[in-house]
Amino acid sequence: MNKNHYVAIMAGGIGSRFWPMSRTNYPKQFLDILNTGKTLIQSTFDRFASFVPAENIYIVTAQSYKDIVIEQLPNLDPNNILCEPSRKNTAPCIAYISYKLAQLNPQANLICAPADHIISDENSFVNVCLEALTFTENIKALVTLGIKPTNPNTGYGYIQFEPMNVAPNVYKVKTFTEKPDKELAKTFVASGDFLWNAGIFVWQVKNIVKAFENLLPEIHEVFDAEKENFNTEKEHQSIEKIYPQCVNISIDYGIMEKAENVYVIPSSFGWSDLGTWASAYETLQKDYLDNAVAGNNVMVIDATKNMIHADNKKLILIQGLEDFIVVDTKDVLLICKKDKEQEIKEYVAEVKRNKGDKFI
């Protein structure tokens, strides 16, 4: 394994679209959503530990989740858990690990990835990551992994790439497009030169630091002013000082959509960002009536195309439903049309307005 290879697993989100399983105090990255025997963050860590030294893997998360990370990843050095004092989106999160590593190892080559993705073909994933690390070692490049689309999904952003490759399986990025409507998504998929944006990035830290300096100077200035304190006992104090000064902005919008040296590797490794219950439905095996069932005591009668999640100890019987999401937890039961799953965030806000934080 290459000692200059590093990974930052971003694990600070609250996963509100996976409510009611995902809660503010115990969000989806710490849950076994698909009943695989591992939580999402455990699967992600193990995937990267197969080709990156374990001591080079960092988790960036909220301070309130630190104990959960320690519990779920007992072999991880607690010093490799970087705690954000507030949620400021992905740009400050990536700045934190990047400026820290720039002080620790100027030759660091970094993969940044969310904690909650599903990847079914792990061998292909490892090969693509190693391709990206090899490319960024030699070229001043910011690389993103693009997923070859299998359908006109409106829940993902899209990346358009130039027709000529600059290296084997590496292409210059032409445009980024936020989540399109159905007709535009169909056009993108039919064209053959658009990919889903997986939100997985690879670069040398010195190159992403330079990109912050050029494109997000306000974030660069506050991190750069405190960089001497990283990897010392003063780091936590510096981060507490830095974060209130950071704008809330994604790395996509702040840097990737504006930088000139952005490249993409078209990939197929059985990817899902597991962002919604409908994406869980697509990932899980189906019964003969096309129901995706996670739970050992679920009975289905004359019901089809449903996503059902329930505790293994509880008997759930569902009759007559079609295209529904049914999620049963100890204190909340959600029954929602599958085509309304993008609105679950709004339902959570409504619950909060009417019932306070008790069920959030």
pLDDT band of 318, cuts 50, 70, 90? very high
CB 331 within 8 A of CB 315: no
Q: What is the pLDDT of residue 123?
A: 95
Average pLDDT value for residue range 219-243: 96
Read off the pLDDT of residues 253-263 as tens digits, 9 standing for 90 and up. 999 999 999 99
Q: What is the mean pLDDT of residues 260-281?
A: 90
Burial class (CB in 10 A: 0-12, 13-18, 19+), 148: middle
Q: Mean per-residue pLDDT for 284-311?
A: 94
Output b/e per residue, 165-202; b: 16+ Cβ within 10 A. eeeeebbbbeebbeebeeeebeebbeeeebbbbbbbbb
CA proximity to 26, closest of 60, 76, 65:
65
pLDDT at residue 70, as a whole number: 97
* CATH hierarchy code of domain 5-272: 3.90.550.10
Tell me the two tokens of residue 241: 């000082």
Other Cβ atoms less than 10 A from the Cβ of 103: the count is: 16
| Domain locations in the chain as residue ranges | 5-272, 277-355
What is the pLDDT confidence band of residue 33, given thresholds at 50, 70 and 90? confident
CA-based radius of gyration for the chain = 21
Q: What is the pLDDT of residues 118-145, one digit of tens each?
A: 999 999 999 999 999 999 998 999 999 9
Specify the 3-state DSSP secondary structure of 59.
strand
* Residue 321: pLDDT over 90: yes
Q: Point out which residues pair with 265 in neighbouring strands.
A: 145
pLDDT tens sequence across 54-106: 999 999 999 999 999 999 999 999 999 999 999 999 999 999 999 999 999 99
Number of helices and strands in the chain (H, E)? 11, 17
pLDDT of amino acid 312: 84
Q: For 152-169, what is each residue's pLDDT tens digit?
A: 888 889 999 999 999 999
* Mean residue pLDDT across the chain: 94
Kindly report the pTM of this predicted structure.
Answer: 0.92
DSSP class of residue 190?
Answer: H
